[in-house]
Amino acid sequence: MQPTSEANQRIARISAHLHPPNFQMEESFSLRRENCRAKGAGPGFKVAILGAAGGIGQPLSMLMKMNPLVSVLHLYDVVNTPGVTADISHMDTGAVVRSFLGQKQLEDALSGVELVIIPAGVPRKPGMTRDDLFNINAGIVRTLCEGIAKCCPRAIVNLISNPVNSTVPIAAEVFKKAGTYDPKRLLGVTMLDVVRANTFVAEVLGLDPRQVDVPVVGGHAGVTILPLLSQVKPPSTFTPQETDYLTARIQNGGTEVVEAKAGAGSATLSMAYAAVKFADACLRGLNGDQGVIECAFVDSQVTELPFFASKVRLGRNGAEEIFPLGPLNEYERAGLEKAKKELAESIQKGVSFIKK
């Protein structure tokens, strides 16, 4: 039997996708699939990952492709996104994946996006602090945030690039300058500190980490990472030695990985896991789910500092409620004073980078 002309057209379409004669053909095919999904399937969000070809970006892209709340996934980087996108697009999950390569495609990558996740930038090598990354990453974050202000000013932004204690204030200043700043929509990702704290505390208590919840407040570098062990769930007590051990291990978790990788970068796989856990919480909030609460580094009035990490309630507008720290013990109060001192300097450094 001769194939019908409809079947011929379908084969031609598929072959055009596999061997696109030009970008236009590829794009129209991909747009058609997005439209089909928009007609047929349940609701989903349009998400962009900036720095998608990196050590965090690749596993993060893969895990976001598996998230049922994502309908369209834009992968942007200055290198290698066509390959990462081709690879991930073969996964038989719902999200449509599209590649954007280089600065010229940044605006297309951001157009209509509802959640932007940013793991772009250089990672640490042994002997470096996160602040040593400032000189390179500050400029990268500024450029990307200028794009967000122009193309998707209402998007929720999850900022991973280090030093988070300075890059979040940089992003805020860029958005203020552009007149688009909404403090609820800018979130520094500190989820990996919580993920580590849950794991290490569970080890000490002899529990499954999934049963443990440790609030981690302050910021995302050294002494600014402040685990509140007095508020661990399920309620637990720790000896002074356990408290010292756990606090130090949680504060130095990033350095532990940097040293173990011995020059090959910093945490990527656990970070991708943590980033997806946090992005999923943001999407559930956007979706209208109730009671979504996670720790994040946000514009805050919890202390006298303009930014601080604490528990926030995520909703349709981002961080809709920021929770106070709750009762602290003496050990935590001393830790808080140290954290605030270092945080104040890192925040100021970020602000001055844009205001100078």
Ligand X SMILES: O=C([O-])CC(=O)C(=O)O
Ligand Y SMILES: NC(=O)C1=CN([C@@H]2O[C@H](COP(=O)(O)OP(=O)(O)OC[C@H]3O[C@@H](n4cnc5c(N)ncnc54)[C@H](O)[C@@H]3O)[C@@H](O)[C@H]2O)C=CC1
Binding site residues, ligand X, CB under 6 A: 123-124, 130, 162, 192, 253-255, 257-258, 266-267
CB of 120 to ligand X, least distance (A): 14
To the question of whether residue 54 is assigned a binding role by annotation, the answer is yes
Sketch the per residue contact string, 119 through 158, with ligand Y: x for CB under 6 A, - otherwise: xxxxxx--------x---x--x--xx--------------
Q: Does 56 bind ligand Y (CB under 6 A)?
A: yes
Q: Find which of ligand Y, ligand X, none residue 161 binds, CB within 5 to 8 Å per kind.
A: ligand Y
Q: Is 220 a catalytic residue?
A: yes
Choose the stretch contacting ligand Y; rule: CB under 6 A; options: 71-79, 107-115, 333-341, 346-354.
71-79
Cβ atoms of residues 52 and 84 within 8 Å: yes
Cβ 25 to ligand Y, closest distance in Å? 26
The two structure tokens encoding residue 104? 């010229």
The annotation status of 77 as a binding-site residue, yes or no, is: yes
> Cβ 10 to ligand Y, closest distance in Å?
36
Q: How far is the CB of 128 from ligand Y (least distance, A)?
A: 10
DSSP 258-305: HHHHTTS-S--HHHHHHHHHHHHHHHHHHTT-S-EEEEEEEE--SSSS
Q: Which stretch binds ligand Y (CB under 6 A): 39-47, 200-208, 259-267, 331-339?
A: 259-267
Distance CA 77, CA 226 (A): 33
Q: Check if the beta carbon of residue 198 is closer than 8 Å to that of residue 212.
A: yes
Q: Which of residues 196-225 bind ligand Y (CB under 6 A)?
A: 220
Handedness of CA 343, 319, 332, 268 (dihedral sign): negative
Cβ-contact 96, 75 below 8 angstroms: no
Report the partner that residue 257 touches, choosing among ligand X, ligand Y, none (CB closer than 5 to 8 A by kind): ligand X
Catalytic residue among 19, 74, 90, 220: 220
299 close to 183: Cβ distance less than 8 angstroms: yes
Partner whose binding site includes residue 51, from ligand X, ligand Y, none (CB under 5 to 8 Å by kind) = ligand Y
Write down the H helix ranges in the chain. 5-18, 23-40, 57-65, 81-89, 106-110, 134-151, 164-178, 191-205, 240-251, 253-261, 269-286, 330-355
The answer on whether 316 is annotated among ligand-binding residues is no
CB burial string 99-121: b at 16+ within 10 A, e below: bbbeeebbeebbeebbbbbbbbb
Cα distance between residue 308 and residue 310, in whole Å: 6
Active-site residue numbers? 220
Contact residues toward ligand Y (CB under 6 A) are 50-51, 53-57, 77-79, 119-124, 133, 137, 140, 143-144, 160-162, 164, 189, 192, 220, 265-268, 271
